[in-house]
A and B are shown apart, each in its own frame.
Chain A
Amino acid sequence: MIKKYLFVITCALGLAFPAIQAQAEVDKHARNLAASCAACHGTSGHSAGGTPVLAGMDKALFIGSMKDFKSGARPATVMHQHAKGYTDDEFSLLADFFAVQKR
């Protein structure tokens, strides 16, 4: 239900403020940050298998996972090391980027 409302709101904003939407679509810094993840998680987060599909991942789930990897709360083989290399702001940028990628 919430998703449905968000969709309606997003569409309305998009129609009313096309310039803002265009800008939001290409946060190049976020896109560039996310590009390095593709080796394991696929182009734009479309994993070919074995690793989580990041495309379309809920923002809160992405940020929460990264924070837990960083703190060690969530055990990992590799992700705890990568998570420590990023700031919380970068988690947020990455989450924004992946959340809007179509599954």
Chain B
Amino acid sequence: MSINRRDFLKLSVAGIAIGAFPSIAFAKSELLKKKGQRVVIVGGGFGGATAAKYIRMWSENKIEVVLVERNKQFVSCPMSNTVLSGKRTIKDLTRNYDGLKKYGIKQIQGEVTGIDPEKQAVMLANGHLSYDRLIIAPGVDFMFEQIEGLNAKVADESIHHAWKAGAQTVALRKQLESMPDGGVFALSIPKAPYRCPPGPYERACQVAHYLKNNKPKSKVLILDANPDITSKKGLFTAAWNELYPNMVEYRPNAAVLKVDVANNTAKTEFEDIKADVLNIIPPMKAGAVAGMAGVVGADGRWCAVDFLTYESKVHKNIHVIGDAISAALPKSGHMATSQAKVCAAAVIELMQGQAPEQNPTIVNTCYSMVSDMESVHVANVFRFNAEKQAMVSAEGGGVSAKRSELEGAMADYWLENILNDVLT
């Protein structure tokens, strides 16, 4: 396993902390006294919150579930591009975790500082949580170091990625509002795999929708590190050509290598692009918690799992779900919930000494808003293939025949239903 320097530092720090921890003190620092079988879940996004609810529901409350999440509230990444056009506010996409209380999930708001796969414990600032099985749903972190001049501070302050819905989404909308008519909004897309394959192209539509109505002389320039549009290509190009003619310009093979923050300029291999708004979506990897657990694969980015249980290929009793895994599955919210349910069922079976489901069959449905009212989708069923030990696309999946307002309404219903399924 190759580990990059940053992960190595993290591992050493965790190692020192654990090494210096006498076992009596360790027993005393247990945050919640463990009586029966316990699953700790780190990360309360689409995947983690779903796993928490379904383990309680399907085990008929027999298994204790502790859900650790650093944020007080849940903000939906899906549909957050519509904040840029003004169709929604970030408040419309924000939910609290109160709806999960009725399942008897123990919720802890806090930051995980380390994970000990040997002692089977999750460390927090004020103590630890022992587990029989751990599920991590760490989402993604950004590999800022791959773009010279970019870092987390710059992303917070000026060159936003807005690829985790929240403060940066609101800040990017403000930049759009302050942009002069005739200005350039440059959007940089990392090489696949990244969270939400069609998301950047949807964003181009939402930004163009705002500009068309407010600053019609402006341009959206897409700098794509990929050789072509990675998702729903025909539908997005049709939307750009028909809804926003001469406004959206697409450049393939245009990875941003460097940014000049002072001059709001992005540099590719071929050119320097000065923009009024620079929206750089950096390359991604599994969230930091995966590094703490030591379950990141040889690529230094994603976590390999067994698709019957989502148990890590590195450590026993640690399961990984959602965007952080290495799979031929789209990194989407719906996919994270589907994986969470397979994982929840398997964890219950394993803890009760039973064999997990051998034929997991899951679904992904993903809508992209191409205007304020119209949407397009991609939908697939995925099945476990025992020979390949992988999830593979079943027959019949595909994209919309054409964009429509009907699908725009379906996208709204999708959001309402999935948020209810995850959080209530």
Assess whether A21 is interfacial by the CB under 8 Å rule.
no
Q: Tell whether, in the assembled complex, residue B380 and residue A42 are in contact, meaning their CB atoms are under 8 Å apart.
A: no
How far is it, in angstroms, between the C-alpha of A83 and the C-alpha of B395 when the chains are bound? 9
CB distance A35 to B54 under 8 Å?
yes
Contact A85 B395 (CB under 8 A): yes
Chain A min CB distance to B229 (Å): 20
CB-CB under 8 A from B156, the residues of chain A are none
Closest residue of chain A to B357 (Cβ to Cβ) is: A32
Known contacts A37-B363, A50-B416, A77-B406; is-contact A85 B394 (Cβ 8 Å): yes
Q: Which residues of B are found within 8 Å of A81, using beta-carbon distances?
A: 379-380, 396-398
Q: Is the pair A77, B361 in contact by a Cβ cutoff of 8 Å?
A: no
- CB of B412 within 8 A of chain A? yes
Interface contact A78-B377, CB-CB below 8 Å? yes
Which A residues are CB-close (under 8 A) to B345? 28, 31-32, 35
B420: Cβ under 8 A from any A Cβ:
yes
Given contacts A31-B58, A48-B416, A82-B379, contact A39 B365 (CB under 8 A): yes
Those of B373-419 within 8 Å (CB) of chain A: 377, 379-381, 383, 394-398, 400, 404, 406-407, 409-410, 412-414, 416-418
Q: List residues of B (241-277) whose CB comes within 8 Å of A's CBs.
A: none
**CA separation between A82 and B345, bound complex, in Å?**
22
- Bound-state CA distance A83–B397 (Å) is 9
Q: Given the complex, which residues of A lie within 8 Å of B283, measured CB to CB? A: none
Nearest B residue to A85, CB-CB? B381
Judged by a CB distance under 8 angstroms, whether B334 is at the interface is: yes
Please indicate the chain A residues that have their CB under 8 angstroms from the CB of B362 in the complex. 36
Give the residues in chain A near B420, CB-CB below 8 Å: 42-43, 48
Residue of A nearest to B396 (CB): A84
**Of A28, A29, A32, A38, the contact of B421 (CB 8 Å cutoff):** A38
Contact of B417 among A31, A32, A42, A85 (CB under 8 A): A42
- Residues on A with beta carbons closer than 8 Å to the beta carbon of B377: 77-78
A32 in contact with B342 (CB, 8 Å) = yes
Q: Is the CB of A50 within 8 A of B410?
A: yes
Which residues of chain B are near A37, meaning CB under 8 Å?
363
* Cross-chain contact B417 with A49 (CB below 8 angstroms): yes
- Nearest Cβ on chain A to B49's Cβ, whole angstroms: 12
Please state if B396 and A83 are interface contacts (CB–CB under 8 Å).
Answer: yes
Q: Which residues of A contact B398 (CB under 8 A)?
A: 81
Give A8-42 interface residues, CB cut-off 8 Å to B.
Answer: 28-29, 31-33, 35-42
Contact of A90 with B by CB under 8 A: yes
State whether A41 and B417 are in contact (beta carbons under 8 Å apart), knowing that A36-B361, A77-B406 are contacts in the complex. Answer: yes
Q: Is B360 an interface residue (CB 8 A)?
A: yes
Known: A39-B418, A77-B400. 20 other contacts (CB 8 A): A29-B357, A32-B360, A32-B361, A39-B363, A40-B417, A43-B420, A47-B417, A50-B409, A50-B410, A51-B410, A51-B417, A77-B377, A77-B404, A78-B365, A82-B363, A82-B365, A82-B381, A84-B397, A85-B380, A86-B381
18 contacts between A and B (CB under 8 A): A29-B359, A31-B58, A38-B337, A38-B418, A38-B421, A39-B337, A39-B363, A39-B414, A39-B417, A40-B365, A40-B417, A42-B417, A43-B421, A48-B417, A78-B365, A78-B379, A83-B396, A84-B396
